[in-house]
Amino acid sequence: MSQGIDVTNESIYYGQHKAVENVNVHINPRSVTALIGPSGCGKSTFLRSLNRMHEVIAGAYVEGEVRIDGEDIYAPGIDPVDVRGHVGMVFQRPNPFPTMSIADNVLAGIRLNNKKMKKSEADEVVERSLRGANLWEEVKDRLDRPGSSLSGGQQQRLCIARATAVQPDVLLMDEPCSALDPISTLAIEDLMTELKSTYTIVIVTHNMQQAARVSQMTGFFNIDGAGQPGHLVEFADTETIFSNPSEKATEDYVSGRFG
């Protein structure tokens, strides 16, 4: 993964309603890019368009191009299932599969393509992924316990392990810490800093301090009024956005005047 993500003139529609308008952005590979903005401004929708998850809702479609490492993921003939295998996602609330054990959760994505994995291979993948998510030490003795038996923060790290097990190129995180306590949040933020050396991470967050802590580049989304489409107002390196933004709306938002 060397070229990053290139979004050109992307607009996202839900049926007749235009949710996001004309986004142009380049996301650097192997870095953390944060997307901030008030509620309902389309940042989650945009994030989901990067792995075609918005198509889960009937009638959703996209105009424009999204190129991951040079490949347009919306080209005709490209299967969303395929895209999602290369672009992992971590959700707002931890969602390990309740009927599967911790080990099975980690292996869930891999097993889709690789039904007959040798036990040694599987164990290796489990350990590698859980170590990568900073969870191995805490759960290595109870890998066959159900995924839901962990605490919130541990569950979210399990979801990260599950997402990274298939070794995607990109990791999308949709407000991953919003349901967690501050200690777990910090743990996940540390994790993100480690993971960025391997994965390209795009994170949507409501927490501006979090964006300032973890990201190298930040994008500010805004919405002009109710019913209007959201759009990307400004995109620059994190320090600039928070100390010296060029748009007034950005400055108003990061200084807390609205949002």
Write out the two tokens for 253.
Answer: 């938002």
Alpha-helical runs (H) found in the chain = 43-49, 80-86, 102-113, 119-132, 136-139, 152-165, 182-195, 208-214, 238-243, 248-254
86 binds other proteins (CB under 8 A): yes
Of 14, 31, 100, 247, the one binding other proteins (CB under 8 A) is: 100
Q: Which stretch binds other proteins (CB under 8 A): 33-41, 80-88, 216-224, 232-240?
A: 80-88
Of 42, 109, 153, 229, the one binding other proteins (CB under 8 A) is: 109
Closer Cβ to other proteins, 19 or 166, answer by number: 166
Of 15, 17, 61, 78, the one binding other proteins (CB under 8 A) is: 78
Q: Using CA atoms, how far apart are residues 35 and 203, in angstroms rounded to an integer? A: 6
Closer Cβ to other proteins, 51 or 250, answer by number: 51
84 binds other proteins (CB under 8 A): yes
Q: Using CA atoms, how far apart are residues 146 and 97, in angstroms rounded to an integer? A: 8
DSSP 8-state code for residue 151: -
Classify residue 167 as exposed, middle or buried by CB count within 10 Å of its CB (0-12, 13-18, 19+).
middle
51 binds other proteins (CB under 8 A): yes
The counts of H helices and E strands in the chain are: 10, 10
Task: Tell me the residue type at 187.
Answer: A
Closer Cβ to other proteins, 69 or 138, answer by number: 69
Helix (H, G, I), strand (E, B) or coil at 218: strand
Interaction with other proteins in 117-146: which residues (CB under 8 A)?
Answer: 117, 121, 124-125, 128
83 binds other proteins (CB under 8 A): yes
- Binding stretches for other proteins (CB under 8 A): 1-3, 51, 53, 56, 58, 68-71, 73, 75, 77-79, 81-86, 88-89, 91, 93, 95-100, 108-110, 112-114, 117, 121, 124-125, 128, 159, 162-163, 166-167, 169, 198
